[in-house]
Amino acid sequence: DCEPLAIFTPSGKRGRVPAGTTVLDAARALGVDLDSVCGGRGICSKCQCAPLYGAFPKHGVTVAPDALSPVNAVETRYDEKRGLKPGRRLGCQARILGDVVIDVPPESQLHRQVVRKAAEARAVEMDPATRLLLVEVASPDLHAPSGDLERLNAALAAQWGLPPARPSLPVLARLQAALRKGGWQVTVALHRDRDDAAARILDLWPGFFEGPLYGLAIDLGSTTIAAHLTDLATGEVHASAGAMNPQIRFGEDLMSRVSHAMLNPGGAAAMTAAVRVALNDLADGLAVQAGVDPRQIVEATLVCNPVMHHLALGIDPVELGQAPFALASSDALDIAAADLGLVSINPAARAYVLPLIAGHVGADAAAVALSEAPEQSDDLVLIVDVGTNAEIILGNRARVLACSSPTGPAFEGAEISSGQRAAPGAIERVRIDPATGEPRFRVIGCDLWSDAPGFAEATGATGVTGICGSGIIEAVAEMRMAGLLDGSGLIGSAEATGCARIIPEGRTHAYVLHDGRAAGGPLIAVTQGDVRAIQLAKSALYAGARLLMDRIGVDRVDRVVLAGAFGAHVSPLHAMVLGMIPDVPLDKVRSAGNAAGTGARIALCSRAARRLIEGNVRRIEKVETAVEPRFQEHFVAANALPHATDPFPELAR
């Protein structure tokens, strides 16, 4: 066989191709992942690759210096204008003349991995719905009259093998000028999600437009909103920002917002308007922060709980206020971003809203499932995403169950006497010496423990301002471990505990963590009411997890994943001392960071992931805590620290 052998790394794909085949064509023929935006015109450099020369015993070939055609005029021009890295060739220009080994660097792989594969999390490849494509359109011919759009679509079919796509009217209005300015070349942002027949031209630029295109991954929580500006070609996050959900002024928790909608004419609309202003502000801020033209932001994905979902979409959430908690729709949505009120990005941008799981289990839980892949787990994994509501998922390859539990805002530092949001000045870590009852702590924004020299100066002008969610959890758990609290959650007196930090507080007691009053600061204490609030929140969380364990018929889980910004900060030991999570070996508790946000980003980068989660949510078994009598039983039993009836052998070690 005299045809040259082409071997591609890192894929290892190989095959013989006719001499003279370009590297790009060889890659396509052999199913190698090599990118191209300009369709082989030597303009985009996405096809860059690194030929390797010499002997490769592993592959059984020797690559001669003339195995590829010499650098041609197109490559020289590209190199002069924009510069090629040493050793790189343009795959669309270099022709294969002899046996070759060609390395495809990560930036030239169209389907590079989006999310690093953590221990158990899902690996995802780039497969975004919107791509940039350079198209060379035939100029008009008086003798064969056809419209510019029709010729553009003919070129899309001929050069990219794509079905016809439709532009919006404002984009169509710019087509003719763009084509003529670009010398009959135009770069289109082509959006194809589910259905190739519904392909859309979201925007176009004369000639070659390098991009990049961006998407917004939005995690819309009841308390906070987070958005990540993501490069749609690489999956990289360029900027992230967070904001408070302005709907808080209509009600702290979900049910109070639903009641607001039920009791006030126009209430739902006002909440919709408020959240949309916040979404646009976030998008604006991210574009400025990253120095990106908002027009280049062409997609958004949204994950949120069902009430936030309905309100963001402009759907009255009243049905979610009462059983049977009927959703307007639980399906994923592919809509115009403008319909979601997102008007500060590209006017034709699309938005993908992840599917909801059930009445109280939302797209945020679906996003967590997308990121954490419980359905691929051999062992039984409990995933908890703690916010104002806790999203709880339990499952493995055999089955996956989900519920939502109303933990309330205590875990976020709200409804706590000295509570505050996680911000500089907030106590986030607490240790209490069991012998003396003396505390030491750390605050956000300062690297020192409170007993270190220079702590007061290091906290700067802010000083110590309050205690955040992870701080109150550690404080209550440490108080329990130091014997300042009994199993029922009662704070002992100074006399009974021998701890001088305990002061009377009405008919109960409080534990003083920090007294800044001499310096004009606050007195920060953990009161009996604070302990009760944490007990209620943790009971709700634990009861939800137990309910799912009952359904499967198990007493133990194999591992626990703590998701959410909060999950990233809470210590597994303290969570278990409180009985927030069931007993497992501590090394089986992992923090997944913002898994809902990661799920939103995965959906932004991968159409395949969208199809996957749409299929998986149908198979997730939903458990409705609000109507389960066993929930109440578990809730009461879980009030003790760590628990009245369930054993915690791992804590005894």
Dihedral angle sign, alpha carbons of residues 607, 608, 614, 620 = negative
Q: Tell me how far, at minimum, the Cβ of 231 lies from ligand FES, in Å.
A: 18
Nearer to ligand FES among residue 34 and residue 537 (C-beta)? 34
Q: Tell me how far, at minimum, the Cβ of 48 lies from ligand FES, in Å.
A: 8
Residue 356 near residue 362, CB atoms below 8 Å? yes
Nearer to ligand FES among residue 90 and residue 444 (C-beta)? 90
Query: Which burial class, exposed, middle or buried, applies to 588 when counting CB atoms under 10 A from its CB (0-12, 13-18, 19+)?
Result: middle
Q: Tell me how far, at minimum, the Cβ of 72 lies from ligand FES, in Å.
A: 12
Round to whole Å and give the CA distance between 272 and 313: 7
Round to whole Å and give the CA distance between 114 and 101: 26
Q: Tell me how far, at minimum, the Cβ of 211 lies from ligand FES, in Å.
A: 13
Nearer to ligand FES among residue 39 and residue 221 (C-beta)? 39
Rounded to whole angstroms, what are the CA distances from 545 to 372, 408, 548, 575, 605?
17, 16, 5, 14, 31
Give the H/E segment covering residue 12: none
Query: Which burial class, exposed, middle or buried, applies to 73 when counting CB atoms under 10 A from its CB (0-12, 13-18, 19+)?
Result: exposed
Nearer to ligand FES among residue 47 and residue 348 (C-beta)? 47
Q: Tell me how far, at minimum, the Cβ of 23 lies from ligand FES, in Å.
A: 9
Round to whole Å and give the CA distance between 200 and 191: 5
Nearer to ligand FES among residue 37 and residue 381 (C-beta)? 37
Q: Tell me how far, at minimum, the Cβ of 30 lies from ligand FES, in Å.
A: 16
Pairing of strands 5-9, 100-103: parallel
Residue with CB nearest ligand FES?
92
SS (H, E, C) 518-543: HHCCCEEEEEHHHHHHHHHHHHHHHH
Round to whole Å and give the CA distance between 451 and 442: 9
Determine the Cα angle at 421 with ends 415 and 425, to 5°.
120
Task: Show the tokens assigned to 183.
Answer: 């010398």
Which residues lie below 8 Å from residue 22, measured CB to CB, with a gap of 6+? 40, 91, 92, 93, 94, 95, 96
β-strand partners of 351: 300, 335
Nearer to ligand FES among residue 210 and residue 284 (C-beta)? 210
Nearer to ligand FES among residue 43 and residue 287 (C-beta)? 43
Nearer to ligand FES among residue 49 and residue 584 (C-beta)? 49
Q: Tell me how far, at minimum, the Cβ of 288 lies from ligand FES, in Å.
A: 31
Nearer to ligand FES among residue 45 and residue 130 (C-beta)? 45
Instruction: Give the interface with ligand FES as residue ranges (CB under 6 A).
Output: 24, 36-38, 40-47, 90-92
Residue 69 near residue 42, CB atoms below 8 Å? no
Q: Tell me how far, at minimum, the Cβ of 188 lies from ligand FES, in Å.
A: 15
Q: Tell me how far, at minimum, the Cβ of 24 lies from ligand FES, in Å.
A: 6
